[in-house]
Amino acid sequence: MSGQKVILVTGASAGIGEACARLLHEQGNIVYGASRNPGPAAWKTLALDVTSDEAVARGVAQILAEQGRVDVVVNNAGLVFAGSVEDTSMEEAKAQFETNFFGVMRVSKAVLPSMRLRKTGLIVNVSSLAGLLGLPFQGLYSASKFALEGLTESMRPEVAGFGVEVVLLEPGDIATSVVANRIRVAASGAGSVYRDNFEKVVALFEKEETHGAAPAVVARRVARLIETSKPAVRYTTGPMAQRFLTALKPFFPSRLFERCLTIYYGIKG
């Protein structure tokens, strides 16, 4: 895809999404940065909650009315619920999926008709290394990203004949507002039988995220992807050691790999 593109980035008010919107805007594209509470930005902004059918339909209709097309969507909006699976309520589990999984599906369904008609388009689904590796005490987050991996693999052959590419981007730890925005499930506090292990693991997550790669690293990966004529199914990005260790998973006996993770996270029985 070459020349000036019309690009929708969801979750563009902070972190990875903001870095993507900034770089793609600086490269001369027409960028719409969507989030629930957008602030002032050099690019165009949209107040768009990906959990709302109505808001997504309205936002995409606005872009189509103003620009006549959407060339690229970066489905980046996401949040993280932390807590053991047992401590996570069904409402919290559904809220995790509503943003990270159904949000992506909702936005993709909204842009696909116009992409199909124009026989061109690129959808970049921001997954995570946690979509390849189940993280303890972020089970619902991991599950939402594993689900996104499956959805993307399934969609690709469906839409390829219409000239539309769908790609997974799997970052490792990136230094964003994710630490501040992490939602601890209500039952994870005092009284939870998982509390000690939970606190230890979340502290490690926070340390790794704080020292993670810059969001600009992911933005540069997205910018390169947009220029790739036949993109692969998935691309990892971020800290090399995390990407390497995740890539080893299929080659290790499963219990040994799991044991290494348990020791690494300091989880006690």
Ligand X SMILES: NC(=O)c1ccc[n+]([C@@H]2O[C@H](COP(=O)([O-])OP(=O)(O)OC[C@H]3O[C@@H](n4cnc5c(N)ncnc54)[C@H](OP(=O)(O)O)[C@@H]3O)[C@@H](O)[C@H]2O)c1
Q: Which is nearer to ligand X, 198 or 205 (CB)?
A: 205
Q: Quick count: other Cβ atoms within 10 Å of Cβ 232?
A: 10
d(CA 269, CA 262): 10
Q: Go through 79-101 and write b for each residue having 16 or more CB atoms within 10 A of its CB, e for each that does not.
A: bbbbbbeebbeeebbebbbbbbb
* C-beta closer to ligand X: residue 231 or 239: 239
* Nearest residue (CB) to ligand X, 10 versus 108: 10
Separation of alpha carbons 238 and 103, rounded Å = 24
Q: Which residues contact 3 (CB under 8 A, 6 or more apart)?
A: none
Asked if 76 is part of the footprint of ligand X (rule: CB under 6 A), the reply reads yes
Q: Does 174 bind ligand X (CB under 6 A)?
A: yes
- Contacts with ligand X by CB under 6 A: the residue count is 32
**145 has catalytic annotation:** yes
Question: Among 154, 168, 164, which Cα is nearest to 222's?
Answer: 168
C-alpha–C-alpha distance, residues 71 and 120, integer Å:
7
Does the footprint of ligand X cover residue 181 (CB under 6 A)? yes
Contacts of 91 (CB under 8 A, 6+ apart): none
DSSP character for 101?
Answer: T
Interface with ligand X, residue 50, by CB under 6 A: yes
62 binds ligand X (CB under 6 A): no
Contact between 79 and ligand X per CB under 6 A? yes
Which position among 84, 108, 145, 235 bears the catalytic label? 145
Q: Phi then psi for 39, rounded to 5 degrees?
A: -100, -175
* Phi-psi sector, 173: left (phi>0), alpha (psi -120 to 50), beta: beta
Minimum Å distance from CB 195 to ligand X?
Answer: 24
- Indicate if 44 belongs to the active site: no
Site string for ligand X, 112-151 (x = CB under 6 A): --------------x-x-----------------------
User: Is residue 99 near ligand X by the rule CB under 6 A?
Assistant: yes
Q: CB under 6 A: which stretch of 1-9, 72-80, 193-201, 253-261 binds ligand X?
A: 72-80
Output the CA–CA distances (angstroms, integers) from residue 251 to 233, 236, 256, in the order listed.
20, 18, 11
Using CB under 6 A as the binding rule, the residues of this chain from 182 to 221 that contact ligand X are 209, 212
Binding segment (CB under 6 A) for ligand X, from list 1-9, 23-31, 176-184, 246-254: 176-184
13 carries an active-site annotation? yes
Q: Letter for the amino acid at 169?
A: L
Spatial separation of the C-alpha atoms in residues 155 and 159, rounded to whole Å: 6
Helix 215-226 with 15-26: angle, nearest 10 deg: 50
Binding flags for ligand X, 2-41, as an x/- string (CB under 6 A): --------xxxxxxxx-----------------xxx----
219-238 positions binding ligand X, by CB under 6 A: none
- Summarize as ranges the residues that interact with ligand X (CB under 6 A): 10-17, 35-37, 48-51, 76-79, 99, 103, 126, 128, 171, 173-174, 176-178, 181, 209, 212
Q: So which residues are the catalytic ones? A: 13, 127, 141, 145
